Structure 1
Amino acid sequence: MLTALLLIPLVGSLLLLPLNQGTTSSDTRIKQIALAVSMVNFIVSIVLWGEFDSSAVGYQFVQEFNSLSFCHLHIGIDGISLYFVLLTTFITPICILSNWDSVKEDIKYFVIAFLLMETLLIAVFVVLDLLLFYVFFESVLIPMFLVVGIWGGSVTRIRASFLLFLYTLAGSLFMLLAIMVIYYNVGTTDFTVISLSDISLDSQKILWLAFFLSFAVKTPLVPFHMWLPRAHAEAPLAGSILLAGLFLKLATYGYLRILINFMPDATSYFSPLVQTIAIVTLVYSSLATLRQVDFKALVAYSSISHMAIVVLGLFSNTIVGIEGAIALSIAHGVVSPAMFILVGGILYDRFHTRVIRYYRGMTVYMPVFAALFFITTAFNMAVPLSLNWTGEVLSLAGIFQRSPIAGLLGASGIVLSASYSIYLFNRISFGSYSQYLSFTTDVTRREFMLMLPLLLVAVIFGIMPNIILSDLHVAVTQLLYTTS
Structure 2
Amino acid sequence: MITLLLLIPILGSLLLLPIPSNGLTTHTQMKKIALITSLINFFLSLYLWSQFDFNTTQYQFVSEFNQLNFCHLNFGIDGVSIYFVLLTTFVTPIALLSNYSNINKNLKLFLISFLLLETLQICAFVSLDLLLFYIFFESVLPILFIIIILFGHGTDRFRSAFLFFLYTLAGSLPMLLCILLIYSYIGSTDFQLISLYEISLEYQKILWLGFFIALAVKTPLYPFIIWLPKAHSDSPLAGSIILAATILKLATYGYIRVLINFLPDASNYFSPLIQTIAVITIIYASLSTIIQQDTKRLIAYSSVAHMGVVVLGLFSNTIQGIEGAILLALAHGFVSPALFTCVGGIIYDRTGKRIINYIRGLVTYMPVFTILFFIFIICNTGIPLSLNFLGEQLSLIGIWQENPIIATLGATGIVLSACYSLFLFNRLSYGSYSPHLPILKDINRREYYLLLSLLIPTIVFGILPNVLLNPLHTSISALLYTF
TM bin, normalised by shorter chain, reads: over 0.9
Instruction: Tell me the equivalent position of 1:68.
Output: 68
Instruction: Tell me the equivalent position of 1:374.
Output: 374
**Secondary structure in 1 aligned to 2:363?**
coil
1:435-476 C-alpha deviation (Å, 9 max, x unpaired): 110101100000001100100010000000111111111111
CA contact (8 A) 1:316 1:402 kept: yes
- TM-score for the superposition, normalised by structure 1: 0.99
CA contact (8 A) 1:386 1:459 kept: yes
AA at the equivalent of 1:20? P
1:205-241 C-alpha deviation (Å, 9 max, x unpaired): 0000000000000000011010000000000000000
**How many residue pairs get matched?**
483
Instruction: Tell me the equivalent position of 2:342.
Output: 342
CA distance in 1 between partners of 2:358 and 2:389 (Å)? 32
Instruction: Tell me the equivalent position of 2:361.
Output: 361
Instruction: Tell me the equivalent position of 1:106.
Output: 106
Report the alpha carbon displacement of residue 112 of structure 1 after superposing the two structures with TM: 0.3
Instruction: Tell me the equivalent position of 2:49.
Output: 49
CA contact (8 A) 2:38 2:115 kept: yes
Does 1:326 find its partner at 2:321? no
What value does the CA root-mean-square deviation take over the aligned residues? 0.6
Instruction: Tell me the equivalent position of 1:254.
Output: 254
CA contact (8 A) 1:321 1:398 kept: yes
Instruction: Tell me the equivalent position of 1:237.
Output: 237
CA distance in 2 between partners of 1:479 and 1:222 (Å)? 26
AA at the equivalent of 2:313? G
CA contact (8 A) 2:57 2:79 kept: no
Does 1:439 find its partner at 2:432? no
**Secondary structure in 2 aligned to 1:293?**
coil
Instruction: Tell me the equivalent position of 1:167.
Output: 167
AA at the equivalent of 2:104? K
Instruction: Tell me the equivalent position of 1:226.
Output: 226
**Secondary structure in 1 aligned to 2:75?**
strand
**Secondary structure in 2 aligned to 1:72?**
strand
- Tell me, which stretches of 5 or more residues in structure 1 are unaligned? none
1:164-184 C-alpha deviation (Å, 9 max, x unpaired): 100000000000000000001
1:283-332 C-alpha deviation (Å, 9 max, x unpaired): 00000000100000000000000000000000001111000000000000
Instruction: Tell me the equivalent position of 2:187.
Output: 187
CA distance in 2 between partners of 1:431 and 1:37 (Å)? 44
Instruction: Tell me the equivalent position of 1:93.
Output: 93
Instruction: Tell me the equivalent position of 2:204.
Output: 204
Instruction: Tell me the equivalent position of 1:143.
Output: 143
Identity of aligned residues (%): 59
Instruction: Tell me the equivalent position of 1:37.
Output: 37
Instruction: Tell me the equivalent position of 2:469.
Output: 469
Report the alpha carbon displacement of residue 64 of structure 1 after superposing the two structures with TM: 1.6
CA distance in 1 between partners of 2:22 and 2:145 (Å)? 23
CA distance in 2 between partners of 1:150 and 1:338 (Å)? 23
CA contact (8 A) 1:360 1:427 kept: yes
CA distance in 2 between partners of 1:161 and 1:179 (Å)? 27
CA contact (8 A) 2:149 2:158 kept: yes
CA contact (8 A) 2:353 2:359 kept: no
Instruction: Tell me the equivalent position of 2:131.
Output: 131
Report the alpha carbon displacement of residue 54 of structure 1 after superposing the two structures with TM: 1.3
Between 330-339 and 465-474, the greater mean CA deviation after superposition: 465-474
CA distance in 2 between partners of 1:312 and 1:383 (Å)? 20
CA contact (8 A) 1:307 1:329 kept: yes
1:385-429 C-alpha deviation (Å, 9 max, x unpaired): 000000000000000000000000001011000000000000000
Does 1:385 find its partner at 2:414? no
AA at the equivalent of 1:288? S
CA distance in 2 between partners of 1:131 and 1:18 (Å)? 34
Report the alpha carbon displacement of residue 23 of structure 1 after superposing the two structures with TM: 1.1
AA at the equivalent of 1:317? N
CA distance in 2 between partners of 1:444 and 1:400 (Å)? 45
**Secondary structure in 1 aligned to 2:68?**
coil
Between 149-158 and 295-304, the greater mean CA deviation after superposition: 149-158
CA contact (8 A) 1:286 1:417 kept: yes
CA distance in 1 between partners of 2:391 and 2:325 (Å)? 6
- Tell me, which stretches of 5 or more residues in structure 2 are unaligned? none
CA contact (8 A) 1:65 1:72 kept: yes
AA at the equivalent of 1:244? A
**Secondary structure in 1 aligned to 2:63?**
strand
AA at the equivalent of 2:419? S
AA at the equivalent of 2:98? S
Instruction: Tell me the equivalent position of 1:81.
Output: 81
Between 65-74 and 164-173, the greater mean CA deviation after superposition: 65-74
AA at the equivalent of 1:225? I
Report the alpha carbon displacement of residue 479 of structure 1 after superposing the two structures with TM: 1.4
CA distance in 1 between partners of 2:468 and 2:341 (Å)? 25
**Secondary structure in 1 aligned to 2:362?**
coil
CA distance in 2 between partners of 1:220 and 1:196 (Å)? 31
**Secondary structure in 2 aligned to 1:363?**
helix
AA at the equivalent of 1:332? H
Report the alpha carbon displacement of residue 22 of structure 1 after superposing the two structures with TM: 2.1
CA distance in 1 between partners of 2:240 and 2:419 (Å)? 23
CA contact (8 A) 1:296 1:344 kept: yes
- TM-score for the superposition, normalised by structure 2: 0.99
**Secondary structure in 2 aligned to 1:79?**
coil
AA at the equivalent of 1:254? G
1:44-74 C-alpha deviation (Å, 9 max, x unpaired): 0010011011112211111122212123211
Instruction: Tell me the equivalent position of 2:404.
Output: 404
CA contact (8 A) 1:62 1:75 kept: yes
CA distance in 1 between partners of 2:423 and 2:272 (Å)? 33
Instruction: Tell me the equivalent position of 1:302.
Output: 302
Report the alpha carbon displacement of residue 41 of structure 1 after superposing the two structures with TM: 0.3
CA contact (8 A) 1:328 1:387 kept: yes
CA distance in 2 between partners of 1:450 and 1:413 (Å)? 28
AA at the equivalent of 2:371? A
Between 273-282 and 48-57, the greater mean CA deviation after superposition: 48-57
CA contact (8 A) 1:22 1:106 kept: no
Report the alpha carbon displacement of residue 18 of structure 1 after superposing the two structures with TM: 1.5
AA at the equivalent of 1:357? N
Report the alpha carbon displacement of residue 11 of structure 1 after superposing the two structures with TM: 1.1
**Secondary structure in 1 aligned to 2:15?**
helix
AA at the equivalent of 1:355? I
Report the alpha carbon displacement of residue 124 of structure 1 after superposing the two structures with TM: 0.4
AA at the equivalent of 2:112? I
**Secondary structure in 1 aligned to 2:118?**
helix
